[in-house]
Amino acid sequence: MAIVKPFKAIRPTKDKAFFVASRSYEEYGPEELQAVLQFNPFSFLHIINPGFKFEKHITGKERFHLVRNRYLEFLEENVFLKDKEPSFYLYQIEKGDFKSLGFFCACSVEDYRNDVIKKHEDTLHHREELFADYLYSVGFNAEPVLMTYPDNPTVDEIFQKKIQREPEYDFTTTDKVNHKLWKISYPEGIEKLQNAFNGLDALYIADGHHRSASSHLLAEQLQNENPKHTGTEPYNYFMAYLIPESQIKIYEFNRMVKDLNGLSKEEFLIRLDEHFRIEKREDGLYKPSKKHEFSMYLEGEFYLLHLRMTNYKFTDALSQLDTQILFKTILEPILNITDLRNDKRIAYGYGKHNLMQMKDRVDRGEFVVGFSLSPTTVDEIKAIANAGLTMPPKSTYIEPKLRSGLTIYEL
């Protein structure tokens, strides 16, 4: 049984939603970030980059406290208002032929603890602690965890009826993405949504493993500090954006390696032959078209690598994942890359043109060899999560990517 709870969001006023909404901080280059901070006083970036006001780079606890201050200023200046009734927030993102329709809600830390909310990635404890400290200091959660659920006719019916109404927000950002948001605050709609999710055995984290783990860590800390803890306090929940499986878009990360671990090209190809049937491609850029095939770019040529099923055994859901196959057959045994997260010899690329970018970086001499894979599927994510396993780093790049600042959950 999955718990979803409505909440009273802190939100920008309708006339300022376009100006407040920002991409993830890491997506901005230095020049673009400076321009937004200089010319858009309503951007959510001012809250998470409070040092701009003082023309100073601020980190650590001092930054956390100033983030809290900037947030309070946005409330005091009526850039943000708090909704009067608990609501679910239906949010649609549309760009070109890609459209996603999900909703913001509060999800239960207890569900996370009890594996109703399922994970497929490892987290780093120091990052969990850092973000938990951040949440403790600022007192709000503005970065929802992206989770997915099986397509549900009842949920879809509620959503389709609601989107016929005028939205609270309707704006298009400069990257040509249209954003719409509706409130679901009427008791019947809330009850129907909660009942629909009560019937689900699990929710699956798509993006936000550290955020959910940090919320769990914070809840434990605040529970221990509160002698009157009841389990209903806001810190027992965290903000999430739930979206049906059919509307998740998953892209692959390619892998680029700086050397062949002392092997010549010929020696490397011979080592590959143990696990792969190797086919040189003569038709330029080549991207694999099915599972257990890999595209390799080496010394100006593309190769198709077909996995030899006789020499590789599938033992569980993880062993069938292409990122794991590449790791276990090439990266670890041949190229001696054992730490995919921290080894400086390997880098990752994603995006619409990542195959061309991989080729260009190899051609420029930044890397010696590149590998392209097919995207991971939702079913693979679920199978690994259900088995309690974890994927290798950089196995998925998932859309939609959500704007910050449209709904805020106070702790």
Q: What is residue 17's three-state secondary structure?
A: helix
- Same domain (yes/no): 139, 27: yes
Q: Is the pLDDT of residue 352 over 80?
A: no
pLDDT the model gives residue 384: 97
**pLDDT band, residue 121 (cuts 50/70/90):** very high
pLDDT the model gives residue 58: 86
Domain count for the chain, please give it.
2
Q: Is the pLDDT of residue 284 over 90?
A: no
Q: Is 82 left (phi over 0), alpha (psi -120 to 50) or beta?
A: beta
User: Span 163-180, mean pLDDT?
Assistant: 95
Residue, of 204 and 401, whose pLDDT is higher: 204
- Same domain (yes/no): 30, 130: yes
Contact yes or no for 12/20 (Cβ under 8 A):
yes
Q: What is residue 273's three-state secondary structure?
A: coil
Q: Is the pLDDT of residue 353 over 80?
A: no
Single out the residue of 86, 106, 24 nearest to residue 398, CA to CA.
24
Single out the residue of 244, 229, 256 nearest to residue 337, CA to CA.
256
Cβ contacts of 283 within 8 Å, gap of 6 or more: none
- Same domain (yes/no): 45, 165: yes
Single out the residue of 357, 219, 371, 220 nearest to residue 287, CA to CA.
371
Return d(Cα 394, Cα 411) in angstroms, integer. 31
Q: Please report, rounded to a whole number, the percentage of residues in the chain having pLDDT higher than 70.
A: 100
Number of H helices, E strands in the chain: 13, 21
**pLDDT band, residue 311 (cuts 50/70/90):** confident
pLDDT the model gives residue 198: 93
Residue 132 is assigned to a structural domain of this protein: yes
Residue 383 is assigned to a structural domain of this protein: no
- Same domain (yes/no): 79, 115: yes
User: In whole numbers, what is the pLDDT of the chain averaged over residues?
Assistant: 94
User: Span 320-326, mean pLDDT?
Assistant: 97
- Same domain (yes/no): 66, 159: yes
Give residue 135's identity as a one-letter amino acid code. Answer: L
Q: How far is CA 328 from the centre of its chain?
A: 25
Residue 303 is assigned to a structural domain of this protein: yes
- Same domain (yes/no): 73, 218: yes
Name the residue range of residue 194's domain. Answer: 4-249+399-410
Question: Which range (58-62, 115-119, 160-164, 204-208) has the least confidence?
Answer: 58-62
Q: What is residue 206's three-state secondary structure?
A: strand
- Same domain (yes/no): 164, 24: yes
pTM: 0.93
